[in-house]
Amino acid sequence: MTDDAPGARPAVRWIVVAVVTVAIVAVAFAIGRFTAFGATAAPTYPSTTSADAGFARDMQVHHTQAVLMAMEIYRKTDDDELRTLSYDIATAQSGQRGEMYGWLVQWGLPQSSPQPLMTWMQSSGAHSHGDTSAYTQDELLAQMGMATDAELDQLQTLEGQPADCLFLSLMIRHHQGAIPMAEAVIELGDQPRVAEVAQAIITGQSAEIDAMRDIQSRLACTA
């Protein structure tokens, strides 16, 4: 009896060690599988009717016109401050427009929507435009602060101080239309990068409005 006991105990110990080792390996394997699953799980993207998608689409439309107006006045103004400001507007908004295009591509969504402009803002407490289907396209564009075709034609025709003043008036209104859209997507959206760009729009365009009003005063532009 006593001779057999020492040999039995090591055998038991090895069995225990083996069981513990198998358990550790199993836990490690499970953790690895869980981590791998988390790393490769498909990200959640906004839906086509989301605030983030609506903002990306509508702000591309908005930015396109701003770039057009900014490059028009950059080309022909004799005012150095206005030329610098218009260049900054054109380059900043071109970059943002390209990023917004890229968001929709990444999210697998079309660049346009059958819904009227600003429909995505309807659930906003402060920035809703109500039932957007009740408005014409031109009325919605006006609510966004967009220039009309006639105003764009006039901007192309004018030269000198009249052109500078018209540009400033149109671009201030344009910026004033963009800021509520940016505020609405911060309120309603859930994409951090979209909110970051929207805040940059609010900050940047608010400062540009102040700068344009100063230029209006210096150029003695009439209201």
- Per-residue pLDDT at 57: 98
Residue 77's closest CA among 184, 172, 164, 192?
Answer: 164
* pLDDT value for 223: 64
Q: Residue written as tokens 């004033």?
A: 176
Backbone CA torsion sign across 125, 131, 137, 143: negative
What is the C-alpha to C-alpha distance for residues 95 and 90, in angstroms, rounded to an integer?
9
**Which residues does 95 contact at the CB level (< 8 Å), separation at least 6?**
none
Distance in angstroms (rounded) separating the CA atoms of residues 189 and 206: 21
pLDDT tens digits, one per residue of 36-62? 444 456 678 999 999 999 999 999 999
CB atoms < 10 A from the CB of 151, how many? 15
| Gyration radius (Cα) of the chain, Å | 30
- The whole-angstrom separation of Cα 85 and Cα 213 is 12
What pLDDT does 31 receive?
43
| CA nearest to 67, candidates 40, 98, 41 | 98
Indicate the DSSP class of residue 115: S
Segment 90-119, tens digit of pLDDT: 999 999 999 999 999 999 999 999 999 999
Q: Which residues does the chain have with pLDDT short of 70?
A: 1-42, 223
141 C-beta neighbours (distance < 10 Å), count: 20
Q: How far is CA 8 from CA 17, 18, 20, 21, 117, in A?
A: 14, 16, 19, 20, 82
Tell me the whole-structure pTM to 2 decimals.
0.81
- Output the CA–CA distances (angstroms, integers) from residue 138 to 6, 43, 171, in the order listed: 95, 37, 18
Q: How many of the other CB atoms lie within 10 Å of CB of 16?
A: 10
Considering Cα of 77, then 81, then 86, then 87, what sign does the dihedral take?
Answer: positive
Q: Which of 47, 51, 49 is nearest to 107 (CA)?
A: 47
